[in-house]
């Protein structure tokens, strides 16, 4: 991060560098039809683990009084799939074996293993707070400062998440879009999900520059 003025907070400097590099890689994926050499590894080894840490922070942050009953049921239903028991009959064992074969095939091609649950640490919670600030800042970026490489050059229509369920959906979408790009799918600039994902890293970069008192 030699091109970034150090803030005195190494973790935040790392996040700013990650946001900038990720945005540059998404630019390249759109402009050149694919990631440059080392780009997929960066997304898989740096950006996606950071987003997984944000997800861990979300689970550690969520409390019973954070939402209404219906919303909490929805959120618990989303996480239930990560807490299933082992196969109980031959059909389930065959399904589990098929899933294991697919996971091994993905691993052989350099894909990430499935995420596992772990306890939230202080930096996971800080990363979540940072992501929430970025999502709130995103629609406030003036149109002339938007760096989206094609199509609609505005984020004014991308509202900040309203409540835990919308936040969870946006975090899932971020991971999904980055994973698609890391595995070689050329982003579609007119895809609203990709525009929201790109906008997140654009906003994170812009917010960091403003917070640290630098200009582009």
DSSP 100-157: HHHHHHHHHTTPPPPP------HHHHHHHHHHHHHHHHGGGS-GGG---SSS----TT
The pLDDT value recorded for residue 156 is: 95
Provide the Cα torsion 190, 193, 199, 204; round to 10°.
-160
The pLDDT value recorded for residue 158 is: 96
Buried b (16+ CB within 10 A) or exposed e, 95-130: eeeeeeeeeeeeeeeebbeeeeeeebeeebbbbbeb
Question: What's the whole-number mean pLDDT along residues 205-215?
Answer: 62
Question: What's the whole-number mean pLDDT along residues 182-195?
Answer: 92
Question: What's the whole-number mean pLDDT along residues 186-201?
Answer: 94
Question: What's the whole-number mean pLDDT along residues 187-205?
Answer: 94
Per the CB < 8 A criterion, the answer to whether 187 and 29 are in contact is: yes
The CB density around residue 192, as the number of other CB atoms within 10 Å, is: 13
Q: How far apart are CA 123 and CA 56, in angstroms?
A: 10
* Residue whose pair of structure tokens reads 């409390």 in the numeric block: 63
- The whole-chain average pLDDT of the chain stands at 78
pLDDT digits (tens, 9 = 90+) for 76-130: 555 544 444 455 566 556 655 655 665 666 566 665 554 444 555 778 888 999 9
The pLDDT value recorded for residue 82 is: 44
């Amino acid at each position: 991060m030699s091109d970034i003025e150090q803030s005195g907070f190494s973790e935040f400097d790392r996040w700013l560098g990650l946001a900038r590099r990720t945005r540059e890689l998404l630019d390249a994926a759109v402009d050149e039809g694919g990631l440059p050499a080392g780009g997929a590894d960066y997304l898989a080894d740096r950006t996606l683990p950071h987003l997984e840490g944000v997800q861990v922070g979300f689970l550690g942050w969520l409390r019973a009084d954070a939402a209404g009953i219906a919303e909490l049921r929805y959120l618990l239903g989303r996480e239930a799939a990560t807490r299933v028991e082992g196969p109980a009959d031959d059909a389930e064992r065959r399904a589990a074996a098929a899933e294991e074969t697919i996971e091994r095939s993905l691993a052989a091609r350099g894909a990430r293993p499935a995420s596992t649950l772990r306890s939230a640490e202080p930096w996971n919670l800080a990363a979540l707070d940072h992501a929430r600030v970025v999502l709130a800042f995103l629609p406030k970026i003036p149109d002339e400062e938007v760096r989206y490489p094609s199509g609609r050059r505005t984020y004014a229509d991308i509202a900040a998440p309203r409540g835990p369920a919308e936040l969870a959906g946006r975090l899932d979408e971020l991971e999904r879009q980055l994973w698609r790009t890391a595995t070689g799918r050329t982003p579609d600039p007119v895809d609203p999900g990709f525009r929201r994902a790109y906008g997140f890293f654009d906003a994170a970069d812009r917010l960091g520059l403003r917070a640290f008192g630098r200009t582009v």
